[in-house]
Amino acid sequence: MHIGFIGLGQMGIAMAHNLLKNDHSLAVHNRTRDKAEPLIRAGATWASSPAEAAYEADVVFTMVSDDAALRDVTMGELGLLNGLSEEAVHVSCSTISPDTARQLAQEHQHRNSRYVASPVFGKPEVAQAGKLWVCVSGETTAKEDVRPFLNLIGQGIFDFGDDPGAANVVKLSGNFLLGCAIEAMAEAFTLGEKNNISRTSLYEFFSTTLFASPVYKNYGKLIADEVYQPVGATPALIRKDMRLLLDEAQKALVPMPFADIVFQQLTATVAKGKTDIDWAGFAGEVSEKAGVVRPKS
Amino acid sequence: MHIGFIGLGQMGIAMAHNLLKNDHSLAVHNRTRDKAEPLIRAGATWASSPAEAAYEADVVFTMVSDDAALRDVTMGELGLLNGLSEEAVHVSCSTISPDTARQLAQEHQHRNSRYVASPVFGKPEVAQAGKLWVCVSGETTAKEDVRPFLNLIGQGIFDFGDDPGAANVVKLSGNFLLGCAIEAMAEAFTLGEKNNISRTSLYEFFSTTLFASPVYKNYGKLIADEVYQPVGATPALIRKDMRLLLDEAQKALVPMPFADIVFQQLTATVAKGKTDIDWAGFAGEVSEKAGVVRPKS
Amino acid sequence: MHIGFIGLGQMGIAMAHNLLKNDHSLAVHNRTRDKAEPLIRAGATWASSPAEAAYEADVVFTMVSDDAALRDVTMGELGLLNGLSEEAVHVSCSTISPDTARQLAQEHQHRNSRYVASPVFGKPEVAQAGKLWVCVSGETTAKEDVRPFLNLIGQGIFDFGDDPGAANVVKLSGNFLLGCAIEAMAEAFTLGEKNNISRTSLYEFFSTTLFASPVYKNYGKLIADEVYQPVGATPALIRKDMRLLLDEAQKALVPMPFADIVFQQLTATVAKGKTDIDWAGFAGEVSEKAGVVRPKS
Amino acid sequence: MHIGFIGLGQMGIAMAHNLLKNDHSLAVHNRTRDKAEPLIRAGATWASSPAEAAYEADVVFTMVSDDAALRDVTMGELGLLNGLSEEAVHVSCSTISPDTARQLAQEHQHRNSRYVASPVFGKPEVAQAGKLWVCVSGETTAKEDVRPFLNLIGQGIFDFGDDPGAANVVKLSGNFLLGCAIEAMAEAFTLGEKNNISRTSLYEFFSTTLFASPVYKNYGKLIADEVYQPVGATPALIRKDMRLLLDEAQKALVPMPFADIVFQQLTATVAKGKTDIDWAGFAGEVSEKAGVVRPKS
């Protein structure tokens, strides 16, 4: 089968590598070509535009940074819709607003191609290992047709029904739950620290007992150590996701006090210029408010 | 060895049963005797007061509902301090304020007996299975001496150092983290529901992937199903714990916005008279604010 | 001078009446003609479209409900820009987003007409009395040219500089400050009530001493009496304004915890279907959370 | 008549001076005598203890910093209760918890003396001018008997009934409303500033129109100028009041989200060591979170 892949950030590169398995052929496109070189060396071909990446593909993946970028690579002059064959499927993995997903699904329908919302959960190293969690929603047969490809990038696929926006609501909710876990740990660890209980001992207890889950283990360690490198995703990027979540909450008339606080913390982090750290670094806002001063390293 | 046990609520009964193992002898006391009957049938003896339960015991456990109750069973006229031998150890499992723990530890020291803070995590059924998580703090040799007994009630013991108050800070922090997980899921599930994504499908996804931990599995199910029976702990009881946490935050000068919100939700739950449900039922405040109306069953 | 007036809600009608003074001639337009009848009887002429209302006017006022409505009456096919003379001034009184104001100002500039942002503060009865507070921003000479007209509707004019968006930031900030005063009084009055101190006695003390200002007097009385009729502005309408404020806060990177809470309260009010009350009625959310039950009247 | 006065801080000194009018004789006491010198020069006599200040007084005023200090000067070994004549009235002006007021009222009743809760509103310069606002509660005849004295220190007296705790609930509520006005202005002014609207122009508009009241005028100026000197009351002192308010809210089962936020801001201010500024300086937390950096002067 022939696959197109558009968007070669940290996540996209890792996912595209896994799609090269099983003798699939792969055409890749990115705004800047240099990111594509390792994939080309591994057997992929370069496509000079999204439309070219989609040309004669059975399935085309997109993994870009926001709604505007996805609209552009999909509906722009050289967008994938201008290359995609009828019946081919666009597997849209970016974290975007549910409404953008719904609109793009309609655009595809008008042209007899298909759209499957497929946002994913996992850090870049999880993507490399092909162990992402994949949420899908959209038309049933399209979802069935792309399942073998999704199995190459993920360890599990969860189906949230027909609405192309649904999987994106789930993705935004997941990032929200993650942000809540970060804030909660930051508050608890800071309270402990001020009571002479080390952040690490709290982390070790909770992450191996009641909260023994990937999120508390991985993010909890960052918050315990207060080391926010390397950058999985920046505060600005995830702040955009929280904004999309709050937009949905606003439309659905759901007051979400925790979401407001996480958004405030990310806003403060960005406002203070802490932009080159992992987003979990917003935990630093909690200790700062508590007057905890760290020795400069 | 001879053990005393004071406080036979749901948790205390379950813990006391596990202490009857290994040929230990057990004297039990409770405000009302009827709770003690199953234990007496299983081989325990009845003690008519805390002092009597402590008489000639190598170790005496307490598991009562709050600071006032613990002070009473410890320092009251018929309190355990009036029965406890020198060198014997008081294993204090209740969820109380760190300062009360510190004061009681001092009282024991004045009388040459010993105090180990040993708050536990786990619902009554976990206590029955002897699978509690136990946090300890206090004097080193005392902690060593009671370890064999703690192994009968718990699956793991975590040591938080010399300060008798430390383990209680951890316990309060744990209940706080739990409350945060409940609020976060309540917000996410309500947003999903209003987007026609079932609460159950969100629960199943998150509790088996990123958040696959005991807390998200157990409490998440309550929140997904909106069934808050049977009552593990009432809103009023855990609200008391959150109050103690906020008192610590106040003393330590740590602003805790999430803790404030969880406390507000529990306050509203109690104020509205929803007192005979599990405390996770404060999740209902979220859907109520979102205008979700449930058909009366 | 000849004046056009577009948008005859409660506020618009009252303002238009005051513009009929001083022998000005007035052409009025509204989506539905019946609202215009009292003005026509008072000497105004009916314009069948915004363009017609703007035709040969020296100045044209708009007072509509939101950004979309203002864009439509300004730039739509029969919009005022298609009738407005060069050099004429559009006095834009609606509560809209600063960015919409900036865009409309540019549109006018392209056509050699002028735009003055002139949002106003005051309830309908204040508008009738010609006692509004008017905030203006935009091009200096345009502001000077319309000052005599603004003096007919207001008791004071405050100039916030050249940026056509500035006056709208001030208007949104004013509604925000108002919302904060409402929430604060609702919390204080409810605490008082639960301590057997009547809401009215608190209201009377604070509104005649430390907080003796129009806002605390007027809105405080509604909150003390818990009578939210007649409707000055609905919860949905002001919720829209708070949304615009939060959008500005998001762009400017300002965490605003009070704004988040006021928005949550308005969202809950709308979500529960309480739509036909004055927006100050969101104060009811506070007493509801506190479990205060009112006898049904 | 003979008056005792205990507690000569900034407020107490100013109030005591006004009581010297009308030929009343005045005995004053303070922890440190030097504060009393100006009053002694003006005709007051020095009392070496609270008991001595109360001796043969018709009425004794107290104005101290917190509950503990008031208990001490009232019920301590040399406390005023050991000097006060039967039928004499203790006019208690400190900002304390309602429960302390109720307990002290009972103590007086046991000894046939009387207690009137009389907390006051106003900065030191207002106290000097005899223009405080006075809230009273307690026994009716006692309130009547002290009214002539209260008229010397205040411009208005408001009666909140029989409960000796009621006036203190009102006082705590007033400080809460004030804190809310500070936070609200801080948020609005920061949003304005980031939109190139000067803090001063916003202040001038709002404090002369919709919010033209003493609180918005006085505190608003501090927040606009960001000058928090001289110190009217420290952040730590008013944080204590907010804590008392939250204690009342907790007992009365009233969720108060605004109070939680104001308390968080004051906590952060104290935690960061900003202790020698007026409490309105917690407004700085808002601009700090927004990443606003001020040039060091």
Q: Calculate the alpha carbon distances from D107 to D31, D93, D115 in Å.
A: 23, 17, 9
Amino acid at C272: K
Residues of B in contact with C271 (CB under 8 A): 289-291
Minimal Cβ distance to C291: which of B257, B272, B290? B272
Check if A275 contacts C (Cβ < 8 Å): no
CB contact under 8 A, B271 and C290: yes
Structure tokens at A145: 């047709």
D133 within 8 A of D155, measured Cβ to Cβ: yes
**Which of C179, C213, C218 lies closest to D214, judged by CA?**
C213
Binary contact (C257, D191; C-beta < 8 A):
no
Cβ-defined contact of C290 to B268 (cutoff 8 Å): yes
Residue with tokens 């015991």: B57
* CA separation for the pair D181, D184 (Å, rounded): 5
pTM: 0.96
Q: Compute the radius of gyration of chain C from its Cα atoms.
A: 20
And the tokens for C105?
């100002």
How far is CA C250 from each of CA A268, B244, C101, C246, rounded to the nearest angstrom?
Answer: 10, 35, 18, 6
Alpha helices in A86-213 (DSSP H): 98-110, 124-128, 140-153, 166-194, 199-208
What is D169-289's CATH superfamily? Answer: N-(1-d-carboxylethyl)-l-norvaline Dehydrogenase; domain 2 (1.10.1040.10)
pLDDT for res A169: 98
* Token code pair at residue C36: 């215009």
Q: Across the interface, do B289 and C273 touch by the CB < 8 Å criterion?
A: no
Q: A250–C243: do the CB atoms touch at under 8 Å?
A: yes
Q: Is C290 on the interface with A (CB under 8 A)?
A: no
Record the tokens describing residue B191, joined without a space.
């947003």
Residue A236 touches partner C, C-beta closer than 8 Å: no
Q: Please list every residue in chain D whose beta carbon sits closer than 8 Å to the beta carbon of residue A270.
A: 291
Question: Given CB atoms, is C255 within the 8 Å cutoff of chain B?
Answer: no
Please report the pLDDT score of residue B243 as a whole number.
97
Interface partners of C (3+ CB pairs, < 8 Å)?
A, B, D
Burial A81-111 (b: 16+ CB within 10 A, else e): bbbbbeebbbbbbbbbbbbbbbbbbebbeee
Q: Give chains near A: 3+ CB pairs under 8 A.
A: B, C, D
Asked if A250 reaches chain B (Cβ–Cβ under 8 Å), the answer is no
- B touches which chains (3+ CB pairs under 8 A)? A, C, D
Using a CB-CB cut-off of 8 Å, the residues of chain C touching B268 are: 289-291
Looking at the DSSP bridge assignments, the partners of residue A158 are A135
Q: How far separated are the first and last CA of chain C, in Å rounded?
A: 53
Q: Cβ separation of D264 and B250 shorter than 8 Å?
A: no
**Cα–Cα–Cα angle for B252, D169, D74, nearest 5°?**
80
Taking the CA of residue C222 as centre, how many other CA atoms within 13 Å lie in the half-sphere pointing to its CB?
21
The answer to whether C163 faces chain D, any CB pair under 8 Å, is yes
Read off the pLDDT band of A147 (50, 70, 90): very high
Residue B194 touches partner A, C-beta closer than 8 Å? yes
Choice among A123, A171, A240, A274 that is catalytic: A171
Q: Is D291 on the interface with A (CB under 8 A)?
A: yes
**Which residues of chain C neighbour D197 with C-beta distances below 8 Å?**
160-161, 166, 169-170
CA distance C189 to C192: 5
Tens of each residue's pLDDT in chain D, 297 residues: 999 999 999 999 999 999 998 889 999 999 999 999 999 999 999 999 999 999 999 999 999 999 999 999 999 999 999 999 999 999 999 999 999 999 999 999 999 999 999 999 999 999 999 999 999 999 999 999 999 999 999 999 999 999 999 999 999 999 999 999 999 999 999 999 999 999 999 999 999 999 999 999 999 999 999 999 999 899 999 999 999 999 999 999 999 999 999 999 999 999 999 999 999 999 999 999 999 987 765
Tokens 């009343």 locate to: D24
Q: For residue B38, what is the enclosing H or E element?
A: helix B37-41
SS (H, E, C) chain D: CEEEEECCCHHHHHHHHHHCHHHCEEEEECCCHHHHHHHHHCCCEECCCHHHHHECCCEEEECCCCHHHHHHHHHCCCCHHHCECCCCEEEECCCCCHHHHHHHHHHHHHCCCEEEECCEECCHHHHHCCCEEEEEEECHHHHHHHHHHHHHHEEEEEECCCCCCHHHHHHHHHHHHHHHHHHHHHHHHHHHHHCCCCHHHHHHHHHHCCCCCHHHHHHHHHHHHCCCCCCCCCHHHHHHHHHHHHHHHHHHCCCCHHHHHHHHHHHHHHHCCCCCCCHHHHHHHHHHHCCCCCCCC
CATH 3.40.50.720 intervals, chain C: 2-162
pLDDT at A297: 57
| Residue C265 Cα, gap to closest chain B Cα (Å) | 8
DSSP string, B166-194: HHHHHHHHHHHHHHHHHHHHHHHHHHHHH
Asked if D236 reaches chain B (Cβ–Cβ under 8 Å), the answer is: no
Do residues B258 and A184 touch, judged by C-beta distance below 8 A?
A: yes
Which residue type sits at C218? N
**Among D116, D104, D108, which residue's Cα sits nearest to residue D161?**
D116
D257 and B260 within 8 Å at the Cβ level: the answer is: yes
10 Å Cβ neighbour count for D122? 24
pLDDT, tens digit only, all 297 positions of chain B: 999 999 999 999 999 999 998 889 999 999 999 999 999 999 999 999 999 999 999 999 999 999 999 999 999 999 999 999 999 999 999 999 999 999 999 999 999 999 999 999 999 999 999 999 999 999 999 999 999 999 999 999 999 999 999 999 999 999 999 999 999 999 999 999 999 999 999 999 999 999 999 999 999 999 999 999 999 899 999 999 999 999 999 999 999 999 999 999 999 999 999 999 999 999 999 999 999 987 765
Q: Is C206 on the interface with D (CB under 8 A)?
A: yes
Residues A177-190 as b/e (b if ≥16 CB within 10 A, e otherwise) read bbbbbbbbbbbbbb
**Are residues D270 and B253, on separate chains, in Cβ contact within 8 Å?**
yes
Give the gap in angstroms from C-alpha D74 to the nearest C-alpha of chain C: 25
Find chain C residues with C-beta within 8 A of A268's C-beta: 255
CA distance to partner chain C, nearest, from residue D40 (Å)? 33
Residue D232 amino acid letter: G
Q: What is the block-wise mean pLDDT of chain C (297 residues), using blocks of 10 residues?
A: 96 96 92 96 97 97 97 97 96 98 97 97 94 98 98 97 98 98 98 98 97 96 96 95 98 98 98 96 97 79
- CB contacts, 8 Å: A291 with chain D: 268, 270-273
Average pLDDT, chain A: 96
Q: Is B85 in contact with B116 (CB distance < 8 Å)?
A: no
CA A264-B284-A187 angle, 5° bins: 35
- Encoding tokens for residue B212? 């696959």
Instruction: Tell me which of B123, B143, B171, B274 is the catalytic residue.
Output: B171
Asked if the C2-162 domain carries CATH number 3.40.50.720, the reply is yes
Contacts with C270 (C-beta within 8 Å, 6 or more apart), sequence order: A253, B291, C235, C236, C239
C158 close to D (CB below 8 A): yes
CA distance A183 to chain D (A): 15
Please state, in angstroms and rounded to a whole number, the distance separating the CA atoms of residues C119 and B43.
81
Tokens of D149: 């004295």
Please report the pLDDT score of residue C297 as a whole number.
Answer: 57
In this prediction, residue B296 carries a pLDDT of 64
Interface probe with A: pick from C246, C253, C254, C275, most Cβ of A within 10 Å: C253
Q: How far apart are CA B236 and CA D286, in angstroms?
A: 34
Q: Which helix (H) or strand (E) holds A267?
A: helix A257-271
Which residue ranges does chain C devote to CATH 1.10.1040.10?
169-289
Q: Rounded to an integer, what distance in angstroms lies between the CA atom of residue C170 and that of residue D209? A: 13
Chain B residues touching A209 at Cβ < 8 A: 121, 133, 156, 158, 214
What is the value of ipTM here, to two decimals?
0.96
DSSP string, B71-96: HHHHHSTT-GGGTBPTT-EEEE-S--
